[in-house]
Structure 1
């Protein structure tokens, strides 16, 4: 019977020495046992999610918007269409159950890919397993994989593109693959444009990469993004990935904007918050609530909102930096950012305790995709086991930030230039005013740490995992 991970021995190697080598190579498969066990536990956690919360978790209004766009794919105002096209590609079928299953498999596949690359770069299998563990066990990542949201897909696409660029040798086919993956990440979440730009700047600095590879990668990355922006222009008259960047920035300034200091033009004065600063709600409320000054605008809202926001930042730069710091401070806490009590108040970042019926306004959207009832149904004891795990099964964000800062410093000191691309990508993803904007940084931070910690003398290009020829 064939033995896994067995290497055939050439005839001249037979004999006592050859037999010892064959036994050694047969048992070498046990070296992967720590990661196999870790992977099995990661599969089990995702199994609890699939069994405990069926068919999926739905995030406020966003999930329904993605599902509606999957049925009618037209570039929208607030979100690029990449995730909706992914949903459309999985329909018709088993509905939301298939979506969550695919997202969980993609998350597991990413953990395997990170582990494999780190081992090939010279990191020990135990260390590679430890650095891949957050990808397998972090409750936030599992939660995002089980949600009908773009974040899990974006994470896999962006990380996949970065992993391809970290190969031993970048062929034209690899350059095209990386460019397409990063461009798909950009049309899934717009922050992907920044990741694509980082990769384009880093690639010429990579040893042994010629200008033809850079041109091939850049073209492969730009063509899909420009094609999508052209589609947006044809349907809305705006050339871009969304028509809401100005509105999002305006919402960020509403917590501190003082129009007596800003002195906006008359046409922008409607966007001035009138609520006292101490009583103002968080930015998302200003973006979505019907009482928001945004809804007093007629016609184009994005352009004026962006103008107001830039004027506010220039007039109150200190207040803007303080607001950004407050956002990070609210996220970067050692404890979970959500408590069980908050979960009962419909906070989406805790596996829910209670079933919540769908509102009549969104039920048809979900049921059309699901082909039947689509509200999340909770099944015990699986859901209870996952709720117990989520109290401790996560990487604290301060630890993530401290480790990333140390990694970037060490990478510069040790001249681990390959670690800079995932490290800087993680640094770009961390700032934000919502948890789910920070979580995708975890795989990149773990990858950067592993590349920085690899043994001295290990070449930056990927080495062969097999035995050296003798």
Structure 2
């Protein structure tokens, strides 16, 4: 059996996902992002794009959160198979390709995100499949499909937007010709343009969100000193009113009652002023800005993702938690009945126990990423650089734009696995895939 190693690896991975489905029905809800996605009234999101909401709307007639989570579990399993198939195509033996996709199959955080009503699992699949298609074979058709998926990823999570430009740059540098590049960019612009037009119709402004300025402003709350920035009077209202050493982590400045951001009326006006303040703060205190980013990135050196006693939403729950009245109706309308997460023992306990050790520690993951990028350059495995650099961008960009969150690192896992396999592969792209050989004249005899 040619793919025995993959089958052996898949069976326990499927069992882990069955534990999630049976141990935590019908889904795990992330307070309060999940309820924003589940709202029946479709509208462009304010703090996040609504691409995931559109998917949920398509599935709404089934009135089943279980359907949503099962679909997300299946998508991730399918993604592992797709990465495995490409790595086999590039010369890796079955056991080697299966070994490299085990983080996709067994990482506890991926299983958690698949079981959450959150956009992350769908985003991960969209980004990885798009890059995988471009690497598999570069044609206008595959480039267009990849571009469309990256465009959809951009309206699912805005952190995916740079990946469209990054992929276009890859095609340009590798000299694949203008047709694939145009196909990629045009196809990617379709969902982005359609979504921005929807926002224009609803809110009067071409945009994907109305919170990019807010998030960047919250980043500057780690260091902003208005005696140094000297903002004009219209921006001074956004100055922090507590010493640097006492300030909470940036995301708290977006929602908590102490935040001066909430004093600014009007969503669009608030976002505009926040963006202006943030840019002035960064220009006035560039060293402090980079120091804050560097401090966030040191969390990648932490071996444990979450400590045993750490309060975090990124754990499989041990107790059932009733839904608040303010959001209960939203979830129950979608589910067509009770929607609070149930904890079914002992299945739930088995998965909680697995969560304590079933992951790749971030230091090892980052070491693998750096090693893959270096090895790809040494071995001239240029196709490995695209997923490798994309993974690096996904990991590094959030601390520059908002703040570090352990959840934001997870989308890099499949890309690092893909890049590692391409670097280790013994077979280069075939004649029809390689730009260099494609330009060689055919020797017709």
Sort the TM-score into its range (normalised by shorter chain).
Answer: over 0.9
Is 1:182 the counterpart of 2:153? The answer is no
Is 1:408 the counterpart of 2:373? The answer is yes
From 203, 207, 212, give the equivalent of 1:245: 212
From 372, 379, 382, give the equivalent of 2:347: 382
From 252, 256, 273, give the equivalent of 1:285: 252
Distance change (3 Å), C-alpha of 1:94 and 1:357: same
Q: State TM-score, norm by structure 1.
A: 0.88
Distance change (3 Å), C-alpha of 1:303 and 1:87: same
Instruction: Tell me the residue number matched to 1:60.
Output: 31
Q: Distance in 2 between matches of 1:126 and 1:164?
A: 23
Is 1:301 the counterpart of 2:266? The answer is no
1:57-98 deviation digits (Å, cap 9, x = unpaired) = 111111111111xx1111121111100001111111141100
Question: 8 Å contact 2:63–2:334 — kept in the other structure?
Answer: no
Q: Secondary structure at the match of 1:392?
A: coil
Q: Distance in 1 between matches of 2:430 and 2:239?
A: 54
From 112, 134, 140, give the equivalent of 1:165: 134
Instruction: Tell me the residue number matched to 1:365.
Output: 330
Q: Distance in 2 between matches of 1:396 and 1:107?
A: 20
Q: Distance in 2 between matches of 1:76 and 1:260?
A: 35
Question: 8 Å contact 2:29–2:117 — kept in the other structure?
Answer: yes
Question: 8 Å contact 1:331–1:434 — kept in the other structure?
Answer: no
Question: 8 Å contact 1:121–1:462 — kept in the other structure?
Answer: no
From 4, 7, 21, give the equivalent of 1:50: 21
Is 1:351 the counterpart of 2:306? The answer is no
Shift of 1:176: 2.1
Question: 8 Å contact 2:25–2:342 — kept in the other structure?
Answer: yes
Q: Secondary structure at the match of 2:205?
A: coil
1:282-319 deviation digits (Å, cap 9, x = unpaired) = 11110111221011102311111011111111111111
Q: Secondary structure at the match of 1:227?
A: helix
Q: Distance in 2 between matches of 1:301 and 1:398?
A: 38
Instruction: Tell me the residue number matched to 2:75.
Output: 106
Q: Distance in 2 between matches of 1:329 and 1:380?
A: 37
Instruction: Tell me the residue number matched to 1:127.
Output: 96
Question: 8 Å contact 1:120–1:462 — kept in the other structure?
Answer: no
Is 1:265 the counterpart of 2:232? The answer is yes
Q: Secondary structure at the match of 1:196?
A: helix
Instruction: Tell me the residue number matched to 2:292.
Output: 323
Question: Structure 1 segments of 4 or more deviating over 3 A?
Answer: 461-464
Shift of 1:409: 1.1
Per mean C-alpha deviation after superposition, the further-off stretch among 291-300 and 379-388 is 291-300
Gaps of 5+ in 2: 399-403, 434-445
Is 1:451 the counterpart of 2:422? The answer is yes
From 241, 249, 260, give the equivalent of 1:274: 241
Shift of 1:406: 1.1
Instruction: Tell me the residue number matched to 1:18.
Output: none
From 180, 183, 196, give the equivalent of 1:229: 196
Q: Secondary structure at the match of 1:353?
A: coil
Q: Distance in 2 between matches of 1:462 and 1:395?
A: 36
Is 1:143 the counterpart of 2:115? The answer is no
Instruction: Tell me the residue number matched to 1:24.
Output: none
Q: Distance in 2 between matches of 1:331 and 1:205?
A: 31
Shift of 1:213: 2.0
Q: Distance in 1 between matches of 2:62 and 2:146?
A: 29
Q: Distance in 2 between matches of 1:46 and 1:329?
A: 31
Shift of 1:462: 8.4
Q: Secondary structure at the match of 2:118?
A: coil
Q: Distance in 2 between matches of 1:391 and 1:368?
A: 34
Shift of 1:330: 2.6
1:73-128 deviation digits (Å, cap 9, x = unpaired) = 11121111100001111111141100000000001000000011001011121111
Q: State TM-score, norm by structure 2.
A: 0.93
Distance change (3 Å), C-alpha of 1:243 and 1:420: same
Shift of 1:252: 0.7
